[in-house]
Amino acid sequence: MCLAVPGKVLDIEERDGTRMATVDFGGVVKEVCLEYVPDLQVGEYAIVHVGFALQRLDEESARQTLALFEELGLLQEEFGDPWEAAGAPPGWDEADAAPGSAPAPAPAAAVGDAAREANR
Query: Poorest-confidence range of 33-42, 55-64, 76-85?
Result: 76-85
- Going by pLDDT thresholds of 50, 70 and 90, the confidence category of residue 65 is confident
pLDDT by residue (tens digit) across 88-107? 555 655 554 544 444 444 44
Q: What is the 3-state secondary structure (H, E, C) of the chain?
A: CCCCEEEEEEEEEEECCEEEEEEEECCEEEEEECCCCCCCCCCCEEEEECCEEEEEECHHHHHHHHHHHHHHCHHHHHHCCHHHHHHCCCCCCHHHCCCCCCCCCCCHHHHHHHHHHHCC
Bridge partner list, 53 = 48
Cα gap 106→10, rounded to integer Å: 29
How high is the pLDDT of residue 44? Answer: 96
Closest CA to 103 of 78, 67, 77, 83: 77
How high is the pLDDT of residue 28? Answer: 83
87 pLDDT above the threshold of 60: no
- Going by pLDDT thresholds of 50, 70 and 90, the confidence category of residue 77 is low
Cα gap 13→40, rounded to integer Å: 12
Return left, alpha or beta for 67; rule: phi > 0 is left, psi -120 to 50 is alpha, else beta: alpha
- Going by pLDDT thresholds of 50, 70 and 90, the confidence category of residue 78 is low
Query: What average pLDDT does the structure give for the chain?
Result: 75
pLDDT by residue (tens digit) across 19-55? 999 999 878 899 999 999 999 999 999 999 989 999 9
